[in-house]
Each structure stands twice: as structure tokens, then as C-alpha cells.
Amino acid sequence: MNKTALITGITGQDGSYLAELLLEKGYMVHGVKRRASSFNTARIDHLYMDQHENHVNFKLHYGDLTDSTNIIRIIQEVQPDEIYNLGAMSHVKVSFDSPEYVANVDGMGTLRILEAVRILGLTEKTRIYQASTSELYGGLEENKNEKGFYDENSPFYPRSPYGVAKIYGFWITKNYREAYNMYACNGILFNHESPRRGETFVTRKITMATAAIALGKQECLYLGNMNALRDWGHAKDYVEAMWRILQQDVAEDYVIATGVTTSVRDFVELSFKEVGLNIRWEGEGVDEVGVLVEVDEDKYKEAVKFNEPSNLSTFQPSNLIGKQLIKVDPAYYRPTEVDLLLGDPTKSKTKLGWKPQYDLAGLVSEMVASDVEIVKKNFNAQWEHIVG
């Protein structure tokens, strides 16, 4: 008999990749999406099936993690074998502007799911995956393990309302596992990206700007802390780990990471090199700028595919040599910065048999190529309406 899964946050990056994975494995997949006045299902439109057809294995439900009765009703109706709680307000910087909302959704929302499963008497049937985050650690040097990484035993010290809300989600999941013998696990996922990443997150902001600048549709990319170091992986790899976590005999918590760290500055360089633009850094702190010093014409033509029939302009990137393409805007600094996040995936590799298939170079290449196509497709549009 095929399993049934319920995914909150199904319209997001992780939710869409997880839905694809579970459908490939023969699951009946239910997703929770918030009601909105405009369509917000672009990442999963290719999965949608007319509900009048036979053998429909993908269904969406209107719901919200702030509404207990709604969550209870959906879980009662679906009777899931597995719940993946991916729904969250996950933008760290924005969480400082909406701390009460992020606490309600990311913290209390987790409790509502756990309580719904308990109240409905599904503790023996339903396994729960809670999406935790590397922001729990706060980047404190003294909290690393002996190898210099953060692992499942490293102390937490969250430094944002998002991290604080998620730490409640982590501990309430662990508490319900121990108090009610529920199969409930935390996946402490370090940063994971893809072409489906939201455009306000720094990696996607960088690759989107790279494409726009390379095609003459944007003049400058503004960023915050260029020194921030992150452990970046591909979301496709990470949703595979989520599924593996719920297939184990014993419920446990796992760190999912690549074990490799890269600065925002280096991510920018990798991104611009994908379109043949070589950057040199000048200045420090808020005065740091990235200046275009060289154009690899062959790489540029290969990246933007000028040889294909298109309505692209005769824009020449060599005209940008000597110009400042990247600048620092202090408005993007967080009130409390997390300078370094680096995960130790030893447990997930040994116990789950999980191993990432993408490296950072492959991730950046895929994201830039996708965003070049998006910019080309919308070339004649008002670009600020697309990225703003």
C-alpha cells in the first residue's frame, strides 16, 4: 500500500522538490498552501492534476500554521503516514521586522501540528519531520565540536527572531517525541539553495543580479555582510535527506550539511564568472566594491547564448570594465550578525547513507543559467518589476 504524505510549505523551494521526490516514490502527496489573492503555486504547477481525473496522487488544501482547527481538520481528513513541516517565515532579516508573526508561525505552528497528531490519536501511525535550521547555532566559535563544525550535540545560541522561534520548534518536537513516544524528528539543515530559491534570499539575489547585469538590465548589486560564511548545498540533495530521516527505525535528529563553507564574496565571484565577468574587490567594510576588470568573451557568449535567435540588444559587457558592479548597503546588515555556519554531516552520512550529489560550483552554475533564461524571457519588460 502506498504511503500518504502531508507537506506544509509545499509552494516553497523545499516543498516543491520534496513533492517531486515523494511522487516519484509512489506517495499520495497532500500539500498545505495559504490563500492568496494572486497565484503562488509557480513551483508546483507542473505537478498539479485535475481533481476530476482518475488516480490523482497530488492534492492541495488551503491552510495556515496559525490556525489550529484548520490543521486538525486537514490532518484528520488526510490521515498521513508522514508529515513534513516545511512551512515557515524563513527570511532571517525580515524576522527582525515581524518577530511576533515568525514566533506564531515557526514556533507555535510546530506545536499545533504535534498537538493535532496527538489529539487525533495518530501517534502510532504518523511520523513527523520538523524543518530545523543552522540558525539555531548562532555562529559562536566556542560552540563548535573538536573538528571546528556544528553537529547534533553543539549548543544552540540563536541570534535572530527566526532562530529563536525555530529553537522552540526544535525542542517541542523533541519533547513530544519523549513525552508521547511520537516518531518526530528534527532535520537541522544548513543553507540550501536552487533555481527555485526566493529572489530575496542572498544567493538568488546574487545569481539574479548576475544575469541582469550581464544582459544590461541592472547596473549594480547591493549586498550586506560580504564576510559572512555559509555552508551552502542544493535543495534537491537536502529533501532526499528529509525523506531518509523518516525511514529510520528510531526517531532521531540529524544535521544536514556539506561540511564546506564559502563567503558571500566568493559566491559573488563564482556567480559572475559563470557569465565571463571577472571581479576585483577594492576597499573594506561599507566602502568595499566589486569592480569589473575583465570579460571572458567566449564564456560570456556561451552563457547568454547570443548565437540563438532572440530580441536581445547589442549590449557589450566590455563597456562595463572599470565600473563598480557590487556595492555594500548597510541597510542589509542584520542587527545581530551570524558570521560563520559550518555543519558536520558525519551522522547523516553514516546513519542515513546520505551524500550530497551537488558541489557549490554545480549549484551556482545551475542557478545562474536558470536566471539568465529568466532575464532573457523578460528582456523587454520593466526589470525592476521583476526583481523588486
Q: Which residues are catalytic?
A: 133, 135, 162
Structure-block grid coordinates of residue 235:
535543495
Structure-block grid coordinates of residue 124:
502510532
Torsion of CA 210, 212, 216, 222, to 10 degrees: -70
Distance, CA of 349 to CA of 342 (rounded, Å): 16
Q: Dihedrals φ, ψ of 154, to 5°? A: -70, 140
CA distances from residue 307 to 152, 211, 300 in whole angstroms, order as listed: 50, 17, 11
Tracing cell 565571463 back to the chain, one arrives at: 276
Distance, CA of 23 to CA of 5 (rounded, Å): 10
Rg (CA), the chain: 22
129 alpha carbon, distance to own chain's centre = 16
Distance, CA of 278 to CA of 382 (rounded, Å): 27
